[in-house]
Structure 1
Amino acid sequence: MSASLPAVSSSPRLLAGLLFAAYSALSVNRHRQMRSTGYDLGIFEQAVRSYAHLRPPIADLKGPGFNLLGDHFHPVIILAAPFYRIFPSPITLLVLQAALLALSAVPVTRLAIEFCGHRAGVCLGLAYGLSWGIQQAVVFDFHEVAFAVPLLARSVELLARRSWRAAAGWALPLLLVKEDQAFIVAAIGAYIFWRGRRGLGALVAAVAVEVGALAVVIIIPAFNPHHSYPYGKTAGSISSLPVPVTKEETVLALLAPTLFFALRSPLVLIAAPSLLARFWTSSPNLWGTRFHYNAVLMPIVFIAFADGLARMRASDRVVLLRAARVAPILALLGAMSVPQPLRSVLDPASWRVPEQVRTAEALLRTIPDGTDVAAANRVAPQLTGRCRVFRFLSEPTPRFRPEWVVTTGAPYEQSMIADLPSLGYRVAARATGITVYRRTVAVRLPPGGLRRPLRRA
């Protein structure tokens, strides 16, 4: 018995190490193939780069001189600055995100092993690591929510263990990750209140509401150029908005990886306020299963899965006992059978950098370090580490004309590309779908401006 303890205790860390390698390989390889984007990897690199040099988090891709605290309240990203100062590259952020997401598998797997046994617990932990919500976060560049996932996993693990004060202590830092994490922290406080620690639960919920309101009403507007919360207009009413299939599909997709056994644990209710807040908005991007929005819900759902299985194993009903034994294996088989981005890591062809990408990289190297560039979304993160990069389409304008412009020729860029000659730009280089323009002509605007207004896609 004692000989098996080291293997049991080391399994969560070994699993996290494997996931870290897989996540890093996937995201870094996508960046090498120019599949990362300015929205949002380039934006976060600009902010972290500013922090690393002890400056405010300016992200010029959001607008010249835009302070990113005027977009979201995420002071936690300053923790990435020391790593970026040592390794100044967007790859640093991708690897850091991979580490944070992989780290979240440790508390999930550890609790699952304790509640369900070693083999079942490892299967459940691996199913979590391969879950679609985590993989979608890995494949969509870098986001601040990566810091929330391990914090939340640890907090919900402690809730399952009834360690109320420790769970609260791990939950409160979520308020520094992003303003919408207040919904989850308030839910954790409500859960603690419901389970009997009323004073502690009420305090956690009150702090979540106050910090969330402070961020949305005061802090973000103070840094925003329009002195408002930029996402307030996306709010709607559940009763006034039609409930499309995507919302229902998202709920099913969250529960299906657990074979719906997560519903046997009250811990799953912690995910409800955050999910309802997303459904409340009028932005379809927040309703579905794409992007990074569901990553923070995965630890909740899978820890509820482990807790639900433990409740089933304590039952005297044979059908529940048998279901609890096979559920983790079935969950793992299900996670492995669903086509997901991590599969590409096993494909040798996916590791080859296309020749057109190498040509594009050589083309971008003709742009000197430290210069101002208006770059297309797919090109921006290739330049943010060494240039001041703006968003092509928003810039250039008659009043602000960066020295360089890089376009990809996408259909939505065509109207703006047609305006470049009138702004004094000429083609400097062109290859493989990428065109580099340089401002070489001084433009004297007539008193009424350009004869026709600049078109925007």
Structure 2
Amino acid sequence: MFAFGVYACLSIRLHQRLQTTAYDLGIFEQAVRSYAHLRLPVSELKGPGFQLLGDHFSPVLATLAPLYRLWPSPITLLIAQAALFAIAVVPLARWAECSLGRAGAVAVTAVYGASWGIAQAVGFDFHEVCFAVPLLAFSLAALGRGRLGAAVAWALPLLLVKEDLGLTVAVIGGLVAWKGARRLGLVTAVAGLLGTALEVLVIIPAFSPAGSYTYWDKLPGTNSGYGPAHLLYQATIGMLTPDVKVMTLLALLAPTAFLALRSPLVLVALPTLAWRFFSDNPQYWGTGFQYSAVLMPVVVAALIDALTRWPVTHVRYALTVSVAATVLMFLQAPLYQLVQPATWHTDPRVATTHSILDKIPSGATVAATNHLAPQLTARATVTVFGFPGSRPNPKYIVADVSTWDWPFATSTAVVQQLNDTLGHGYRAIAHQDGIVLLHRT
């Protein structure tokens, strides 16, 4: 409960301070809103009538539809994410208590609960991977305790979370086979591989406007013309260069005192690390955003598994080092914001912004800048102002001209586009504290 409260508190506070974004909280809210009204998931923020099943295969989002129908708000998604992240500590702590004692369970709870990967995800909007975290925790805890059927049962739903997680299911299947349930493990591994192949090669292209998997262009050499030699380099030396990739690995293993490397369970992290480090997108390489959340239950499970084979005195020292490393990294992670006074100070500009947004009627079409969009997605049809390919001529345009916001390069560019828009059928009906609201006449 404490972890849930901390995660929810930070997420909600960031949203209240206008620090959530269209990409990604707004997109996921539009998806869940579609499911809540019994439609396939569509996000206007990605483009007119954009089918999200043509972007990522995440039908698990439909499970939030009943909650969202009762409380149509982005906060519903943030609270659900906090709960899912917090639930993951339960199987890990129970396993640790059975194997390492009460003190071990407390230490493991701290290592997972304050882990930087979870903190980064909580501090950056909402993402579908929050469903994968408890599934992995339950699956790996069952696997570590020899409950192989339960491990598979918890792993298979990962196929409904995101298309790459079928590869993770395949590794879990391989470990199940290695532990003795050969047929069950091989069937699970094949199901994972076929699931990813089906989603990437058939289902997503069927919904995609381009007719293919959108993220092929994130592979190295796709747009640069490099040949097989470059791909070979990227698959070998390139997996550990530039240095940010090594730093990510060190950050991942340090909270386990590097003991996770002593457990075969750490292999479950390889598919996620492989696609991230093989990609030529630098955002995937570091410790930011939500990309490492699914790795946290993996390395903590590997730590528990490794410690079950150590003498008690060594276990105490190892857990002390793990907790100390977690605390040091916690000071750099978003959860640390909760003990900073600035987090609890509400700028008067926030109230001004909401008073301007209240002038937009429910059901209207709106183009909003990135940080204003999720304040409107629950009650309006919202696109990103300045994003190429957005639906033209929305009834309202609202923009924050006081600061830079994606997709603009500078705040001056925002002002320039607003000025251009004023000459094409729009007039300003509000302008205060850098928030400008235009209405199409």
Question: Which of residues 184, 188, 195 in structure 2 aligns to 1:211?
Answer: 195
Q: Is the CA contact 1:124–1:329 (under 8 Å) kept in the aligned structure 2?
A: no
Q: Is the CA contact 1:76–1:177 (under 8 Å) kept in the aligned structure 2?
A: yes
Q: Is the CA contact 1:261–1:305 (under 8 Å) kept in the aligned structure 2?
A: yes
Q: Which residue matches 2:227?
A: none
The separation in 1 between residues aligned to 2:286 and 2:320, in whole angstroms, is 27
The one-letter code matched in structure 1 to 2:309 is: R
What SS does the corresponding residue of 1:369 show, helix, strand or coil? Answer: coil
Question: Which of residues 402, 417, 438 in structure 1 aligns to 2:394?
Answer: 402
The one-letter code matched in structure 1 to 2:436 is: T
The one-letter code matched in structure 1 to 2:328 is: S
175 and 396 in structure 1: CA distance in 2 versus 1, 3 angstrom threshold:
closer
- 1:334 and 2:325 are equivalent in the alignment: yes
Q: Which residue matches 1:443?
A: none
What SS does the corresponding residue of 1:142 show, helix, strand or coil? Answer: coil
Alignment of 1:230-309 (within 5 A): 230-236=214-220, 237=231, 239-240=233-234, 242=238, 243-309=241-307
Q: Which residue matches 1:58?
A: 42
Q: Which residue matches 1:346?
A: 339
Q: Which residue matches 1:201?
A: 185
The separation in 2 between residues aligned to 1:88 and 1:307, in whole angstroms, is 41
The separation in 1 between residues aligned to 2:201 and 2:120, in whole angstroms, is 30
Q: Shift of residue 413 of structure 1?
A: 3.0
The separation in 1 between residues aligned to 2:115 and 2:268, in whole angstroms, is 19
The separation in 1 between residues aligned to 2:82 and 2:344, in whole angstroms, is 18
CA offsets, 1:104-162, max 9 Å, x none? Answer: 01111111111211112211211111000010111111111000100000000011011
24 and 277 in structure 1: CA distance in 2 versus 1, 3 angstrom threshold:
same
- Greater shift, 323-332 or 147-156, is seen at 323-332
Alignment of 1:116-127 (within 5 A): 116-127=100-111
Alignment of 1:87-106 (within 5 A): 87-106=71-90
The one-letter code matched in structure 2 to 1:124 is: V
Q: Is the CA contact 1:147–1:177 (under 8 Å) kept in the aligned structure 2?
A: yes
The separation in 2 between residues aligned to 1:404 and 1:61, in whole angstroms, is 15
Fraction of identical pairs, as percent = 47
CA offsets, 1:34-90, max 9 Å, x none? Answer: 000010000011110111111121110000111111110000000000000011100
The separation in 2 between residues aligned to 1:332 and 1:151, in whole angstroms, is 24
Alignment of 1:114-263 (within 5 A): 114-236=98-220, 237=231, 239-240=233-234, 242=238, 243-263=241-261
Q: Which has the higher Rg, Structure 1 or Structure 2?
A: 1
Question: Which of residues 367, 371, 374 in structure 2 aligns to 1:381?
Answer: 374
The separation in 1 between residues aligned to 2:417 and 2:214, in whole angstroms, is 25
- Please list every run of 5 or more consecutive structure 1 residues that lacks an aligned counterpart in the other structure: 1-16, 314-320, 441-457
Q: Shift of residue 298 of structure 1?
A: 0.6
The separation in 1 between residues aligned to 2:415 and 2:436, in whole angstroms, is 12
- Greater shift, 364-373 or 321-330, is seen at 321-330
- Please list every run of 5 or more consecutive structure 2 residues that lacks an aligned counterpart in the other structure: 221-230, 405-409
Q: Shift of residue 324 of structure 1?
A: 1.5
What SS does the corresponding residue of 2:429 show, helix, strand or coil? Answer: strand
Q: Shift of residue 344 of structure 1?
A: 2.1
The separation in 2 between residues aligned to 1:155 and 1:396, in whole angstroms, is 41
Q: Which residue matches 2:385?
A: 392
Q: Is the CA contact 2:47–2:389 (under 8 Å) kept in the aligned structure 1?
A: no
TM-score normalised by structure 2 residue count: 0.91
The separation in 1 between residues aligned to 2:88 and 2:74, in whole angstroms, is 22
The separation in 1 between residues aligned to 2:415 and 2:92, in whole angstroms, is 48
Q: Which residue matches 1:430?
A: 431
Runs of 4+ in 1 over 4 A off after TM superposition: none
Q: Which residue matches 1:445?
A: none
What SS does the corresponding residue of 1:61 show, helix, strand or coil? Answer: coil
The separation in 1 between residues aligned to 2:418 and 2:171, in whole angstroms, is 49
Q: Shift of residue 419 of structure 1?
A: 2.7
- 1:420 and 2:421 are equivalent in the alignment: yes
The separation in 2 between residues aligned to 1:369 and 1:143, in whole angstroms, is 25
What SS does the corresponding residue of 1:239 show, helix, strand or coil? Answer: helix
